[in-house]
Chain A
Amino acid sequence: MKKEFLMGSETIVKGAIAAGAQMMTGYPITPTTEIMEHWAEEAAKNPALKFLQTEDEMSAGFAMIGAILAGVKAFTASAGPGNVLMQDAFSMAENMRLPTVAFIGQRGGPSTGTVIYSQQELNLTCFGGNGEGLRIVYSTAGGQELYDYAIKAFNTAWKYRFPTFVLTDGYQNKTQSSVEIYQPQEKQVEIVSPTPYLLNPQKQEGTFTHIRNTYNLEQELADVLIDYKKHFTEITPEILEFEDYHTLDAEIVIFAHGIVAAAAKLAVDSLRNEGKKVGLFRPITLNPFPKESAINAVTNKKGILITESSLGQFERMVKSNIYPANTPIFTLKKPAVGIMPEEIIEKINQIFSEKGNNA
């Protein structure tokens, strides 16, 4: 175990390697390009690591799938318009239960937008594609978490066989911080090994595997999806993660995810120093969403403040999950712009003085 001072993208690559990742595919886009560059450097040093710079993100997504079918732990990283193009592949991964792993560095949208920061890829990452959103999405808050959740993402993907995402942003990817680099075994984390879908040497002699994504009959597809959903629901309790920070005695509970939750935490500390009872509920898994815990956190509170760097993608997610809770809801939403602890403090003070606007 050792501490290293690393840029977020480098932390992600180190986490992926610790998780046993063997191959990366990708196409450059800010703010995830450095993930590719760091991986390319590692692959140049270590012949066991493979790398494909593809012609676009559709190719990166499908080449990742090809590698996974061969039984290799492959991953990709993208952002914004690249995330849009990759939905093609993620949708197939959802259809076929393929353990894709993608690091999504959110940038401003729609369109090319801005290149560094936003929280606007929540909808796309959690529910993109023409499917049911049977995906697992971790929203990290930078630093150490990038290492921890990089490892976790591969394990979750290969254990449960649902497409798995780590949702970051350019602030997280480009910030340097001190990170504890450990081998998973040191923390009793067992690494899940990959198995091939095609040309599996373990399969019975004389049998062949045919994998398709097209069905002849409506009912055939319905049966498959109902079965997938059942499995997703069954494994949900094992996957759910959230951070509950002083919500028990809080009068107002802030809802935030990702890097905004880090700002909200500072706001909570500062408000509590002034004797104001404020807490933070931060879902770490956005999909599946920690619904029961969120409902518990808002019951009998004076108000909820939902804050995000988007115009309401997270708000919609929170509201639909805590319904029918009737706690008053306030919001602080800034599309594609960071949120400072001071702004959250100001908003909370307004709510306490009952001047805040209901959402």
Chain B
Amino acid sequence: MPETALPKSWNKESKPHKFCPGCGQALALKILGQAIDELDIQKKMIYATDIGCSLLSWSMFNVDTIQTHHGRTLPLSVGFKKAKPEAIVVSFTGDGGGYAIGAQHLLNTAMRNDPITVILINNANYAMTGGQLAPTTLLNQKTTTAPKGRELAQGKPFKGPEMLAQITSEDAHIARGISTNYQQLLEMYKKAISNQIEGRGFSFVEVIAMCPVNWHTDAQQSLDFAEIEMAKIYPIGELKCPQK
């Protein structure tokens, strides 16, 4: 598929999508659409989304979809999968949803090796509520609740995949991609979802994504912040990949 075409699994009726121009989440979801098409799982999967800008994707796909509460997407997904193991369950959340308010769920889901696929957007802030400090905010990065920039006293930028790689079984798939690298992220998604389909267990892809609106950046600055500044702190690549 040319990178400009829309994925088959996208719901055309809900387009244009509701994300801001230049939003990395929209790109990440387009690539997810492509992965759904290539794996041909549109009718066998459910898509569960958190509250955050992720909620804007509640009608994004022609895929059965449930929008949940902030931080609670993973337990809902785990319950669904337990009840219907043959379904493929993809959960989509922000870094606030996954690393703050729902962190205990992420930790326990990963520890239990629950067979779901989690895609988490790292945009270094709480975007939906207007750009507050997130666990992933970089040191010195300004947010509405860290007006002088994040200080060390507010904690180090949180490295989710690195932590998950420590606590998960060898069967888990853990990776970090970036929404601007189409082919690489597509492969990561496909491997992560395949890990679930093949019955190995938990899979997780963190995606670095631009949020020009809350970063107050133009197109080039957005790309630079994501691809250079963020990628420096959050190295891109596979941390655990059971299917060699």
Interface residues of A (CB under 8 A from B): 22-23, 25, 50, 52, 54-56, 58-72, 74, 88-89, 92, 196-199, 208-214
A198 near B79: Cβ-Cβ < 8 Å = no
Nearest 6 interchain pairs by C-beta:
A66-B79, A63-B79, A66-B80, A67-B83, A59-B75, A70-B83
With A22-B83, A62-B72 already in contact, 7 other A-B pairs whose C-beta atoms are closer than 8 Å: A23-B83, A54-B75, A58-B105, A66-B78, A209-B64, A213-B67, A213-B68
Whether the Cβ atoms of A62 and B69 lie closer than 8 Å is: yes
Complex Cα–Cα for A88 and B46 (A) = 22
- CB within 8 Å for A209 and B75 given contacts A66-B83, A70-B84, A72-B84: no
Q: B64 and A199: CB pair below 8 A? A: yes
| Inter-chain contacts of B51 with A (CB < 8 A) | 214
Residues of chain A within 8 A (CB-CB) of B180 are none
Please tell me the number of chain B residues within 8 Å of chain A, measured between CB atoms.
34
Residue of B nearest to A59 (CB): B75
Are B75's CB and A67's CB within 8 A?
Answer: no
Whether the Cβ atoms of B78 and A52 lie closer than 8 Å is yes
Central interface residue in A66, A71, A92, A211, by most chain B CB within 10 Å: A66
Q: Give Cα A97 to B133, complex, Å.
A: 34
Select one of A63, A199, A208, A211 contacting B78, CB under 8 A.
A63
Give the residues in chain B near A59, CB-CB below 8 Å: 72, 75, 78, 104-105, 108
> CA of A248 to CA of B71 in the docked complex: distance in angstroms?
53
- Interface contact A212-B67, CB-CB below 8 Å: yes
**Which chain B positions have C-beta within 8 A of A199?**
44, 46, 64, 84, 87
Q: Using CB atoms, name the residue of chain B closest to A58.
A: B72
In the bound complex, residues from chain A placing their C-beta under 8 Å from that of B44 are 199
Q: B76 to A50, Cβ gap below 8 A?
A: no
- Measured CA separation A55–B71 after assembly (Å): 13
Give the residues in chain A near B80, CB-CB below 8 Å.
Answer: 66-67, 69-70, 198
In contact, B77 and A66 (Cβ under 8 angstroms)? yes
Could you tell me if A62 and B79 are in contact, using CB atoms closer than 8 angstroms? yes
Can you list 16 A-B pairs with a CB-CB distance of less than 8 A? A23-B79, A56-B104, A62-B75, A66-B81, A69-B66, A69-B76, A70-B84, A70-B87, A92-B69, A198-B64, A198-B65, A199-B64, A208-B61, A209-B64, A212-B55, A212-B67
Q: Is the CB of B72 within 8 A of A64?
A: no
Q: Are B83 and A58 in contact (CB under 8 A)?
A: no
Q: Indicate whether B169 reaches chain A with its CB closer than 8 angstroms.
A: no
Q: Which residues of B contact A50 (CB under 8 A)?
A: 82-83
Cβ distance A87 to chain B, nearest Cβ, rounded Å: 11
Which of B55, B77, B82, B105 neighbours the largest number of chain A CB atoms within 10 Å of its CB? B82
Kindly state whether residue B225 has any CB partner on chain A within 8 Å.
no
Residue B182 interfacial (CB < 8 Å): no
Say yes or no: A92 contacts B59, CB within 8 Å: no
Given contacts A23-B83, A67-B83, contact A62 B65 (CB under 8 A): no
Expressed in whole angstroms, the minimum distance between the Cβ of A20 and any Cβ of chain B is 14
CA distance A72 to B79 in the complex (A): 10
In whole Å, how far is A155's beta carbon from the nearest beta carbon of chain B?
19
Whether A74 contacts B75 by the Cβ 8 Å rule is: no
When chains A and B are docked, how far (Å) is the Cα of A69 from the Cα of B84? 10
Bound-complex Cα distance A83 to B78 (A): 21
Q: Is the Cβ of A23 less than 8 Å from the Cβ of B69? A: no
